[in-house]
Structure 1
Amino acid sequence: MIVDAPTISIATLRLPRLFTLVLALAVFAVGHVIAALSSSFTIVLAARVIIALATGTFISIGSVVATSAAGPAAASRAMGVMMSGMSLAIVAGVPLGSWVGQASGWRGTFWALAALAGVAALVVGRFIPAAERAEVTPSVRSQLAVLRHGRMWLILAATALVTGGFMAAYSYISPLLTERTGISEGAVPLVLVGFGVGALLGTNITGRLGDRKPLAPFITTSVASVLVLLLLVPLSTSPAATVVLVVLLGVTGLGITSIATPLAVRFGHSSPALAAALTVSAFNMGIALVSWLAGTTLDTFLGGTGPEVVGAVMAGLGLIPLLVLAAMRATRNAVPQVSLPAVDEETSHKAARRLRARTGPAHRRRPVRRGVGERGPVPAGSQPDHRCRPGRPLPGRPACLPPAEGAGGRGDDGRAGRGHHPHRVLRRLAQCDVRDHPAEEHRRGRRRELTPRRPVWSNTPCDDAD
């Protein structure tokens, strides 16, 4: 799932998310059917690869669907509910799978998983939000733009290191419980069930906290995972303490999964599907690399506590990109402090008196005079007609006639700002000499005089004749 999740996410851009989810579940079911019908280990291995491809696709696309359906205010909570399925698989799926395998053979387990995947495909196709069916998917270029964001790489690095740290300890928990703690092999599944219960609680708790401040719970759970892993080294000789710490490891470890993906989707901007797919790749890459590194310490002087030491170191290194993200957020949200001069009480009273004097009755806002070309009814005779200068035509041009009596700035139809066509008005205004118009007297000191070829806009024509 390290490579296939982002690759398939890009390959299925033009497909609706509903169809992609149902298709992933169908491929998941087909893979289990192939494994159940095969009699060759090579075919079973190929079927497991197909199952892994479908699993990565479903988790990446399902994360986007869950967060978008819940909205930004409940994205982490929705992701916590989705990741609760992994916790339920640990709590109930592993014991049930073992029981089915013992009752009907290993093929029965594959048949049961294929049937459950088919039922899940029907449920998802029925209850997916309608908005997801009509959503337009962005282009490949816009999806790849997520790789240019530095915050995305910081989230992926923190996810890989912290997740790999606690999963390295979980992968080799059986040698620690049997060889160092002294727990029998028959009781190990019960301890793993406790880990699953803790993971179920952790995903929901951190999901609720992550909706308010997603980065703070990420840092808190990472620090808690480091502390739990470090405490497992000296306290692993006590069965009671070891069981409690394993449960706490499930709370703190898998709680990260409900925070990392919504953060990646948020930083991905226009590439939510690829951001979620990259988070899935970071999960699996961290688990693979750190687990391999932890396995090499089993034959050293650390013994069964080697994976816990390696996991604590890796999870501690994962805090570095998280602290960098926190510093970037604090710098971006910082408001510069402006130092103001000290003002004594007398000066403040004087300023208040001046403000009251300016805003008092004597300094009320003056009424705005209607300017040239202002729309609206104007009483006849209240101001000179600024559109033309009757009686003084230009050489070779007819004189402009005054507006009809009682027009008062209205058009022929009696409505303000309407009447003749604007082109006719401009054509008639071009024949008027408005350089010496009385309405332009107040403008002489601020701008050039109007020329005959640059008339002032009017709501009524210069004359009433065509």
Structure 2
Amino acid sequence: MPDSAARRAPMPLAVYVLGLSVFALGTSEFMLSGLLPPIADDMNVSIPQAGLLISAFAIGMVVGAPLLAVATLRLPRRTTLVALISVFGLGQIAGALAPTYEILFASRVVSALACAGFWAVGAAVAIAMVPVNQRARAMAVMIGGLSVANVLGVPLGAFLGEHLGWRSAFWAVGAASAVALVGVVTRIPHIPLPEKKPELKRELTIYRDRQVWLAIVITALAAGGVFCAFSYLAPLLTDVAGLGSGWVPWILGLFGVGALIGTMIGGRVADAHLFGVLLSGITASTVFLVALALFASGQVAVVALSFLLGLSAFFTAPALNARMFNVAGAAPTLAGATTTAAFNLGNTSGPWLGGTVIDLDFGFASTAWAGAAMTALALAAVGVALRLQRGGGEGGTGGSRSRSRLIAKSAAAGGTQSTAAGSTTRASGAPSVQDSPTA
């Protein structure tokens, strides 16, 4: 099938089921930002202590993604997804029923581990169900679930928390998880395991590739830079721009709308112009962050920049995911886990850096300067990755091709199947966009 025809081919329904699942995951991950005061009051803890529930989830994502990817490496993909979304849903129920802060904390850690595992395995499954030139589009559908969570799920969670109590938000996510479970059971196809069982030692060789480490750095810095500022957008809007607190949910929702639009556009063009998307998107994020720092006191400016920052940040997200699968095609599940960990490393380090500059009395606008510094470093890392690719020295030594991709091709030649899909033509053995300078 010609590339243009493949790009026009409809996305499998199962990929949209994964996107629905991610909506539930993303709502749970981010909704606590609007629930901290009532949780703190109910659990008799301080707001900073309640805020540790957010950090616990992020750290659980960083740790859980690679651990669960390794632990489930030889398990059937659909069975693994069913188990993970079930555990995640039970984690929401445990949180809703938690009588103490400690139990609520434990429920968040368990939920984060299941969420991380689902992201890693689900991403590998989504990639496996489409041709290589639709990888970014498939990831855009999954990330679109996260964008919709920011637009609808998080504000809805805040609304439920205000009118029905914070526990009602956990019950709602539990219900969404049940719907996602039905979708996974009924729509995700059975994906056979490869004839030759994957070996952990062999899969871990992807980490010998410099391009894999560059992809990790780019993802963490790009995500961290945006969330360095976004995490403190609410006080910037009220204390610096002088907007009323009633405007904050709407502007955060506007960021989510931008994220959804950016994901849709980025997913459409990233398969053909991956590096172009990375360079333009991260450059735009850097410019918008600098503008936010310079014009933080202007109400119209901060509203417009909130939308634009969401658009530019999520415009690059499908490309960041696809890039990791391109350079680590020999181990698609580990690739998904690594990307998940890298994003959450950024989502942890960015807010930490933002909090640090605030504690140093540089003000809320300084978080945008710090974020711009992170995205500028990400842009430099993209330049290094592009130079290595064009020079034919993507990994290893002596200008040889990366070891992870050599393994993938040798696996294809031997008739073995991809870990995620049982199909070397889709996951690892076929030529993919990373073989082109525009990838």
Q: TM-score, normalised by structure 1?
A: 0.69
Q: Does 1:183 align with 2:270?
A: no
Residues 363-402 of structure 1, C-alpha deviation per residue, up to 9 Å, x if partnerless? xxxxxxxxxxxxxxxxxxxxxxxxxxxxxxxxxxxxxxxx
Conservation of the 8 A alpha-carbon contact between 2:277 and 2:315: no
Q: Does 1:256 align with 2:351?
A: no
Residues 193-232 of structure 1, C-alpha deviation per residue, up to 9 Å, x if partnerless? 1000000011111111111021221111111100000001
Work out the CA distance in 2 between the residues paired with 1:87 and 1:123. Answer: 20
Work out the CA distance in 1 between the residues paired with 2:234 and 2:100. Answer: 29
Alignment of 1:45-444 (within 5 A): 45-130=105-190, 132-134=191-193, 138-300=198-360, 302-332=362-392
Work out the CA distance in 2 between the residues paired with 1:291 and 1:244. Answer: 22
Work out the CA distance in 2 between the residues paired with 1:309 and 1:243. Answer: 17
Conservation of the 8 A alpha-carbon contact between 2:263 and 2:315: yes
Work out the CA distance in 1 between the residues paired with 2:360 and 2:247. Answer: 27
Conservation of the 8 A alpha-carbon contact between 1:22 and 1:121: yes
Conservation of the 8 A alpha-carbon contact between 1:265 and 1:273: no
Work out the CA distance in 1 between the residues paired with 2:243 and 2:137. Answer: 36
Conservation of the 8 A alpha-carbon contact between 1:198 and 1:247: yes
Q: Does 1:24 align with 2:84?
A: yes
Superposition deviation, residue 51 in structure 1: 0.5
Work out the CA distance in 1 between the residues paired with 2:87 and 2:118. Answer: 10
Mean Cα displacement is larger for which, 94-103 or 139-148? 94-103
Q: Which has a greater percent of helix?
A: 2
Paired amino acid for 2:238? T
Larger Rg: 1
Conservation of the 8 A alpha-carbon contact between 1:18 and 1:133: no
Paired amino acid for 1:80? A
Query: 1:449 maps to what in 2?
Result: none
Structure 1 portions without partners, runs of 5+: 334-466
Structure 2 counterpart SS, 1:118: helix
Superposition deviation, residue 300 in structure 1: 3.7
Greater relative contact order (CA < 8 Å, ≥ 6 in sequence): 2
Conservation of the 8 A alpha-carbon contact between 2:74 and 2:193: no
Superposition deviation, residue 77 in structure 1: 0.8
Conservation of the 8 A alpha-carbon contact between 1:266 and 1:272: no
Q: Does 1:5 align with 2:65?
A: yes
Work out the CA distance in 1 between the residues paired with 2:163 and 2:245. Answer: 20
Residues 68-124 of structure 1, C-alpha deviation per residue, up to 9 Å, x if partnerless? 212211110110111011111111001211222233322222112112111101101
Superposition deviation, residue 133 in structure 1: 4.4
Superposition deviation, residue 67 in structure 1: 1.5
Structure 2 portions without partners, runs of 5+: 1-60, 394-439
Query: 2:428 maps to what in 1?
Result: none
Superposition deviation, residue 299 in structure 1: 3.8
Fraction of identical pairs, as percent: 37
Conservation of the 8 A alpha-carbon contact between 2:241 and 2:298: yes
Work out the CA distance in 1 between the residues paired with 2:215 and 2:117. Answer: 20
Conservation of the 8 A alpha-carbon contact between 1:198 and 1:250: yes
Work out the CA distance in 2 between the residues paired with 1:102 and 1:235. Answer: 32
Work out the CA distance in 1 between the residues paired with 2:307 and 2:148. Answer: 14
Structure 1 counterpart SS, 2:198: coil
Moved over 6 A (4+): none
Structure 2 counterpart SS, 1:15: coil
Conservation of the 8 A alpha-carbon contact between 1:16 and 1:135: no
Work out the CA distance in 1 between the residues paired with 2:64 and 2:207. Answer: 17
Conservation of the 8 A alpha-carbon contact between 1:63 and 1:79: yes
Count of aligned residue pairs for this structure pair: 332
Conservation of the 8 A alpha-carbon contact between 1:101 and 1:108: yes
Superposition deviation, residue 255 in structure 1: 2.3
Query: 1:401 maps to what in 2?
Result: none
Superposition deviation, residue 259 in structure 1: 1.2
Structure 1 counterpart SS, 2:297: coil
Conservation of the 8 A alpha-carbon contact between 1:9 and 1:274: yes
Work out the CA distance in 2 between the residues paired with 1:95 and 1:286. Answer: 23
Structure 1 counterpart SS, 2:273: coil
Structure 2 counterpart SS, 1:195: helix
Work out the CA distance in 2 between the residues paired with 1:69 and 1:16. Answer: 15
Structure 2 counterpart SS, 1:70: coil
Mean Cα displacement is larger for which, 280-289 or 298-307? 298-307
Work out the CA distance in 2 between the residues paired with 1:301 and 1:99. Answer: 33
CA RMSD across the alignment: 1.5
